[in-house]
Structures are given as C-alpha cells and as structure tokens.
Structure 1
C-alpha cells in the first residue's frame, strides 16, 4: 500500500548506514546477524511443529518424590547476563536440594563464565555455529544426560522451542519450565511457571524456583573470582578509571548505542579528566573498540582490552572501576552484581525487566511510543516500525555527559 510503513529488522536498522565501520567488520557482523535471524525463524517454525508433533506421542508421568541429593540440570543457552541474573535462583536450588550433580547445559560462548562461578559440578556446552556442529553436540549432550537419569530439570529459557525439545528428549523425572498460552512449546513440563512482563528478571527467576521450593528465601548474585594482577599489569589504580562497553552480543547488536555517541561522550570525559578509559569486549569486538579509541581526544588515554582478558580478569577490571558505561549487555549485569555504579542505555528492550536496580545506577530510556519492541514471547525479535533506532538515537551524548559529569570530576 502506498505510504505504508515497512517493518525493518535489526539488520536493516543497524546496517543501512553508509560508511559506518570497516567493510570487513561490517560484513562479519552482517553475517552473524543474518545467521541469528535464521536460527530464530527455524526455532519459531520448525521448532513449534516439532514440539506439537512430539506432544502427540508424549505421555507425562506424575513425578514421584524428589530423592535425597538429586541430580539437577539447569538448561540456559542464551546470554552470560541472563545466567548471572539467574544465579540467585540457582543458588537457592543448590542450597535446598544439596544435589549430587548440578549441571548446566549452555552455549560454548558461556562455558568459561559458567565454570568461573564455581557452583556447577559440570558445564556442558554446544557451539552455536555452524548449525550441523550445534545439532551434533546438542545430541551428544542429550544422550549423555539421558543416560545420567536426571531427577530435576529446570528450563530457564523463556519460550524457545529447542530448549523445550531438549527437555523432551532428556526425559528427566520432573521438568520445570516457563509457560504462556501463545507459545506452543508442547506439554513436556510438570510444573508450568508464568512469565510476568512487569517484573524484573531476577524476581521472575526467583518465582520460577519458588514454584517447587515454596519456602525458599533470598540469595545474592554469584560472581566469578577476581584476578587482581591484571590491574597491576595495566597500571590501573582502584576507583580511578572508567570502564566503557560499547558492544553487545551478536544476537542483539541492535542494542548498541551509536558509535558516534560513544566517541562524543569519551571526548567530553577526556576534556574534563585524565582518568584512563578502558574499553572492554571480545576479540571479535576489538576492531570496533579500536575505531572508537582512534577517534577519541587522546587515543593514548584509551586502553582497548577487547579480546585480551579472561573472565576473572574482566571481573577485576570492572569491579575496581569508578563507574561503568554500557549498552544493555552481560557485562552491565556483572558490574551491577559487583556493586559498581553504572550508566546504561535501553531502547529496544525495557529496563523494567533488565535494568539495573538501585539509585546508584543511571538508566537512559526514552519510552517513545514504539519502544520497547522486543519481548520474550516473540524470541526477542526486533521489528522496527521507524526504519531507524529512534529509541537509542534520542539519547544524546550531551544529556549523558550532564548526568555523569559530577562522577567524572570526583576522580579527576
């Protein structure tokens, strides 16, 4: 129809901006975005069909009493940040059941982080790419877990079909999972837990566990151990530097506040202070960091740690910072768990669910009429009706600088 708005995907919104970034980096990011979009589509269509088909031949048995020291499996594929936010709930599971085995099944990219938490007896993982490798590794893990005879399975994924299918094939004695009528994930769960879109995600995870442990209390975040030697190597003084994370996971690149805005904000910081600015990220994200550093006021005052730290070193760098500036991402949640003041940007996703809690955290969210447009019921797929990320573009470097200027002057 003439004049009608065309919905645009995260790929369109993020990449139809000529001249932004190095061609090689943009090509790599575009390829990753397309691959994740393909996986979402595969999960939505083929996954829903397989869940419906498997439900026809599945007869759910009434679970018996939970044995002493049961074998417990946590299924949580996506997101270092989500795993961290679920850690208080997982700690309650461990405290209550004292399991003989507490295993997590996750993606390979989360393996080191899960091991560093020191709470799991075993970490099983799958490489997400290429797809045949993911399928083979997932099948291998499912067969191993099936032979192990899991007593309790907690599916911490919200509404993905492939985690429901994983639950079906493992055949634990009791399955606990999220439920919504509009998401057809089969009838594989003995305990169905609703997802409340108005609760913070940590409260949702705690409620998830309390459905089977009604008298469960509260618990704290579990964070990786620190490696303080990294601060000496980088000659960083505690609480005298600023950490910036301009990146986001490949599955959610649309969450990035524009690169030009980070550059402008760092210019303001360097104009007012000589405090070092530390950029963090993965090896894949190091070139993106380098572009920002190269265009800063004083490139020599930028430390690019992209791909240069392990999780324990990263924990030390973030935990000793004066404050932390970030997109909605896993490192943001790590900073919050480490009680580091944060400055964060939200647009496609809502801070109501994932935003840092507490007055020491500054959250920027414009709450325009089309935002947030991501939700767990639609696999967190972005369908931007504006053609550009106005929800993030409306957050200006000037207003962010006004908010953080007093914090910068304290460490100057």
Structure 2
C-alpha cells in the first residue's frame, strides 16, 4: 500500500495548516522539522494563528508563514472567502492538517490541494470532516505529549522515523537589545508567574513564599495585558527579595524567547512561556491542574519538574510543603 509520504515526497509546494496558539505552534515545530527534512526541495509554508506568526521568524527553514486571526474572536465563515481564494492561487500540491478543527478542515478542503492529510479529531462532531481529506491518520489523544502525537501522525503516514525531529530555532541578535541592558551577564532564573486564567495560577501568597526560596537572581515577566500587569505590580510589592529585572508586558514573543534563552532555568504555570523554555532546552519547574488532558502539555524528561494540584476557588490548590520541597529539589538538580 502506498503511504501518504510516498505520494508527496517530490511535491513542489507544501502547506502545514494549524490554527493553534503559542503552545500549539511550539509543539508543532518538531513535526515541521521532520517534514522539512523529508521534503527538502519543496516550497514549504505554514499557517498559524496571527498572534504567533512572529515566533516562526526563528525558523528560517520555513519558506513562508501566514497568519489566521483567532484572537480575541475568529472570523465569520463567509469572511474566509478571501483566504480560500488566496490558498487556491498558491496551487499547493499538499496540505497537512494535524489540527482537526472544523474551520481548518474546511480551509483544507477548499484549498484545491491534490493531497490533503488530516488527523481524525478527538470527537468526530462534523459529518463532513472525512470528505475534507484525501488521506487520514488516527492517533490517540490524551495519552502522551502533543509533540509526540504529531510525530506519530507523520510516522503512521510514512514519514521516515530515522529523521531526527528538533525545534531548530535561530535567535537573531537584535532580539536581545531590550534585554541585555537589564540583565547583563548575571546568571538568573526566569519566572513567568501568571497564565491566562486564575484557576491555573498559584495564590499570590504562595507564589511569594516560593520565590522566597530562591538564593539565586531571578527575572520576572508577564504578558502585555492589564490583568497580568496589575497582578505583577501587586506581587512586586509583596516580595521578600527583589528581582534582578522586571519586564511588565514590554516584550514581544521573539524578545520573550530571547530572555528565556539567557536564563539558567524557567519557573512558571501552564502557559505559552513554558513551551518556549522547553523549545530552548531549558530546565523547567511548572505547576499544573490535574486534568485528563494535562499529559498533552506537561513537559517530560529529567530536566523538567511538574507539580500537580486540584482546582481551588479560584486558584490552584497545591500543599505549600509539597510545592517548596519539590522546588528545592529542582534547584539542587540544576546547580
């Protein structure tokens, strides 16, 4: 039986279509590197959510990057007519879509590409889904990290397993211009204390105690929104030790990546910055809600330590002793 890869290995134009946010895009990079290496002569494009297009400035081996607006709200279905026309004008031979959402599946169908690979969605809600693809692949959800799931999709589709997946990011020197004056050459731990919602965060008093365990310079950063900036201001007023530097929503994605790349380790909740740290091969200490899907996002490996807690009201509930003892063991491991 001819595999999908055998059909497309000499394709001239390939598009990987994934409309996920920062974490989704970072965890897609190893699969993208496999596709690039398996089809080295193809014109290789990727479509991601508009807010994270800048991240793929760090992957010069991708020829073209396109954005799709999903935040704070995606377009109406009829507003995609122009995008469909643009896709058709590109005359892609191949579209690979491991996302499975209704919108991305329809864009795949109407692209006009000859070969269209799709992953079977977690819940097969739409009757039309199967007709959007010429080839499909089924890999279980909620069983392993999302990056490994995507690699499994490629391997089951015939992509060579001997191709080594990697993030293959290249940091431009100008990404450090805003950071180096504040941190200099001092070794530090980067702390990203907040996430997109309270239930994924530690209570402020617990975070203060945790940072009090640090006998090492640390740098704080947060997202450029009022919610996180307000929380960061309150946190700073309560800290027992002051940080080496603070970036209160002043960094874009590329600059945040540059900051993490200079750090010795990364401390955070379940957020996009965690995936950037994993991408950069930095040791991480992270706290998570215990859910059925957490295995898809929690990093694995000897250099990554995760602490799991229950839903609180409204914050994450993790016993303080458990949190601090695990954190101290992590600090010992990276010294």
Quick check: 1:202 aligned with 2:173? no
2:285·2:330 contact (CA, 8 Å) conserved in 1? no
- Counterparts of residues 247-266 of structure 1 (less than 5 Å): 247-249=194-196, 254-266=199-211
Residue of structure 2 equivalent to 1:153: 95
How large is the RMSD of aligned CA atoms in angstroms?
Answer: 3.1
2:263 to 321, 331, 342: 321
2:307 to 338, 349, 364: 364
User: In the aligned structure 2, how far is the partner of 1:120 from the partner of 1:137?
Assistant: 27
User: In the aligned structure 1, how far is the partner of 2:5 from the partner of 2:306?
Assistant: 44
Quick check: 1:401 aligned with 2:324? yes
User: In the aligned structure 2, how far is the partner of 1:336 from the partner of 1:87?
Assistant: 12
Cα deviation, residue 211, structure 1: 2.9
Structure having greater relative contact order (Cα 8 Å, sep ≥ 6): 1
Deviations 1:168-193 (CA, angstroms, capped at 9, x unpaired): 22231111111158413422122222
Which runs of 5 or more structure 2 residues have no equivalent in the other structure? none
Residue of structure 1 equivalent to 2:137: 193
User: In the aligned structure 2, how far is the partner of 1:260 from the partner of 1:323?
Assistant: 22
Deviations 1:293-337 (CA, angstroms, capped at 9, x unpaired): 222124x43632132223343223212222211112221122122
1:286·1:305 contact (CA, 8 Å) conserved in 2? no
Deviations 1:36-67 (CA, angstroms, capped at 9, x unpaired): xxxxxxxxxxxxxxxxxxxxxxxxxx999437
Which runs of 5 or more structure 1 residues have no equivalent in the other structure? 1-61, 369-385
Residue of structure 2 equivalent to 1:232: 180
1:124·1:141 contact (CA, 8 Å) conserved in 2? no
**What is the TM-score of this pair, normalised by structure 1?**
0.69
**What is the TM-score of this pair, normalised by structure 2?**
0.83
Inter-CA distance 225–398: structure 2 relative to 1 (3 Å threshold): same
Cα deviation, residue 93, structure 1: 0.7
More helix by share: 1
Paired positions, count = 322
Secondary structure of the corresponding residue to residue 303 of structure 2: coil
Cα deviation, residue 90, structure 1: 0.7
User: In the aligned structure 1, how far is the partner of 2:188 from the partner of 2:17?
Assistant: 37
Residue of structure 2 equivalent to 1:289: 232
With 331-340 and 120-129 compared, the bigger mean Cα shift is at 120-129
Quick check: 1:220 aligned with 2:162? no
User: In the aligned structure 2, how far is the partner of 1:97 from the partner of 1:193?
Assistant: 19
